Structure 1
Amino acid sequence: MIRNRIKFICFLVLIFLAEINTLLAQKVTVLQQGRPTSLRGLSVVSDKVAWISGSKGYVASTKDGGRTWNWQQVKGFEQSDFRDIEAFSDKEAVIMSSGTPALILKTLDGGVSWQVKYHNRDTSVFFDAMDFNGKYGCILGDPIKNRFVVFETLDKGLTWKQKDPSKSPVAKMGEAAFAASGTCLTINKNGLLRNNELMVVSGGSASSIMYALSTDKKWIQQALPITHSSSSCGAFSVATDSKHWVVVGGDYTHDQRTDSTACFSDNGGKTWKMAKLTPGFQSCVEYTSGNKYISTGTAGTWYSKDGGLNWVKIDNNSFNACNKAKSGKLLLLVGNNGRIARYTPPKEYLIPYIKI
């Protein structure tokens, strides 16, 4: 009886030690910082290739997994705020500018030259985020006349067309999306129905998730249990793994508040549950593998190994966005002052058998 009790206690101790080791093993390593740009656009193509974009017209790319970066201010667009970027290779990428003018640029030669694919000086047009699935791409803009603005491309960003407003999601008065990390819009590549299931999260007067097929007229809209009611708070980012969805957000003016900042759905958005242990304000969440998610924001970087139910802080630095390689394991983070970092995931530890 005593021997069994000792075995059980040893087992609990080993589990605790393994958990501590797991948390200590993962880390966020700053690769470089100190440039006069706020980075919010991030697209990791592979373990070698990634692109980033930010304010004051800055764009950079790497071919060696983030060790070195090729920086530039896009000529003629030095005042543009490139809030999102989508890269397809070390040569091909699309950048999107928020504010006025609203811009979409594309390069086919690694950034040597950029072609203007959309240009609009109408101050009512404000782009928030962009996502692609193969050749199909989508850009989300803030509401105009109570309808979110949606642009689509079928040729990897060479040409763009605005979606019929009657087929775009409806916005409540005071509701909008956040151009904080390029992830308030995502395309669920493994959607329950079929590919190109568009997903949008919002904030302001309401905190909602809206999702529909890119070809659908009808959007399903559901309230989220994320803090809202003012222009600084709501749902900022959504990440998916097929039918499991995770949303993060909060209030960026009170970024240490940990109430109502993360929630998840394990049935494709039908019902939502609030996380038990929640992070401070988070502007971006990313699915990594299994049930694991990474989120980041001005309140630091957080890790969940149980599908977003519980979150543990792993780094104190402020970041705006995180993104994992489309093909590979590289996961990078970007933030203000040109800060770029790499995330090292936890190792899996085997609990040894101890004979007593």
Structure 2
Amino acid sequence: MSAAQRVQIINQNKSVSIRGLSVVDDKIAWISSSQGYIANTLDGGNTWKWRQVKGFEKADFRDIEAFSAKEAIILSSGTPAMILKTTDGGNTWKVKYSQNDSTYFLDAMDFDKPNHGFVMGDPIKNKFLLLETKNGGNNWQSIDGPDAINSQAAFAASGTCLILKATPTVVTGGGAAEVISKNHSVWQHTSLPITHGQNSRGAFSISGDRKRLVVVGGDYINNKRRDSTVCYSINSGQIWLSANSFPSGYQSCVEYIEATTFLSTGTAGTNISMDGGKNWTQIDGQSFNVCRKAKRGKLVLLAGDSGKIGIFKK
């Protein structure tokens, strides 16, 4: 393990699984979890205020997008599939989208501007569900999503199988490990050198800057399997290369830190790459689901099962 980087645990003693994490700046961050819980911090992750969203005690909030200490959006993945918004720091929430059809399962959400974002869900009739908002999550419209082959899906593991750069970009698993992005009006599918072919395998997360991108994944059932868990691109996703050395196993989330540094995490531990995804070193052996860096700042947080929260130190 690296002596320079480590993960400082902030024990919350909560019996919830945290998958949603949004870091606004070096002080403000939000998390969303199972059993209808959300929490936020105003001091960089050292202390957290927890709330159970009234009426949603059984909801599994798989992703969250926060904009300030007051405003955030959460999505409930299963039936009913819902999107909720708060403007008062999480004290009250309003439903902005609801779908009782059991075929709807929401996986991830991302915004490129405070008023503009997307939510994606599992395929319905061989087409990925894609919702768009143009007014800060107050209204959502279904738009034409990419095609999906049989048994292909996205993973609601960390909310990072969808990112917005110039266009929406999706990574998938199951029947096919692909990166799918929109070029003008056409969805382009590119195969990834990531293990796939079973429902537990595939690409789970994507992150990067304009040219350098990294995708992580693996097999969450066989989470110690290391091969075919990471690939990277240095030309904006035109060509994808398998890593030279791999992380400690299955990784559900990757986050771009700076320059050529990426951090990834999963149930098999937390790993770092200093060379753009080519080689990886384990820095922590504990299980996490998600790692995110501040939109404005340097704070990096991690979160996982049993209410576990970590602060990345370097």
* Matched letter for residue 96 of structure 1: L
Whether the 8 Å CA contact 1:168–1:217 is kept in 2: the answer is no
1:176 lines up with 2:153 in the alignment: yes
In the alignment, what sits opposite 2:59?
80
Whether the 8 Å CA contact 1:136–1:156 is kept in 2: the answer is yes
2:124 aligns with one of 133, 144, 168? 144
2:17 aligns with one of 38, 58, 64? 38
In the alignment, what sits opposite 2:133?
153
CA distance in 2, matches of 1:120, 1:146: 18
* Matched letter for residue 123 of structure 2: P
CA distance in 2, matches of 1:310, 1:178: 24
* Matched letter for residue 187 of structure 1: L
Structure whose residues are more often strand by fraction = 2
CA distance in 2, matches of 1:263, 1:111: 37
* Matched letter for residue 106 of structure 1: K
In the alignment, what sits opposite 1:254?
222
Residues paired across the two proteins, number: 312
2:191 aligns with one of 220, 223, 236? 223
1:50 aligns with one of 15, 29, 32? 29
* Matched letter for residue 157 of structure 2: A
In the alignment, what sits opposite 1:207?
177
CA distance in 2, matches of 1:162, 1:79: 26
5+ long unaligned stretches in structure 2 = none
CA distance in 1, matches of 2:240, 2:45: 36
Residues 144-187 of structure 1 deviation map (CA, whole Å, 9 limit, x = unaligned)? 01000000001111111111xxx311101010000000000011
Larger Rg: 1
In the alignment, what sits opposite 2:142?
162
CA distance in 2, matches of 1:219, 1:178: 19
* Matched letter for residue 156 of structure 1: G
Matched ranges for 1:1-356 at <5 A: 23-134=2-113, 135-163=115-143, 167-188=144-165, 195=166, 197-212=167-182, 216-279=184-247, 280-345=249-314
Query: How big is the shift at 1:119?
Result: 1.1
Residues 219-277 of structure 1 deviation map (CA, whole Å, 9 limit, x = unaligned)? 11111000001000000000021111100000000111111000001111111100011
Give TM-score, length-normalised by structure 2.
0.98
- Identity, in percent, stands at 54
| Corresponding residue SS for 1:25 | coil
| Corresponding residue SS for 1:219 | strand
Query: Deviating runs (4+, > 2 A) in structure 1?
Result: none
| Corresponding residue SS for 1:254 | coil
| Corresponding residue SS for 2:92 | coil
Q: CA RMSD in A?
A: 0.9
Structure whose residues are more often helix by fraction = 1
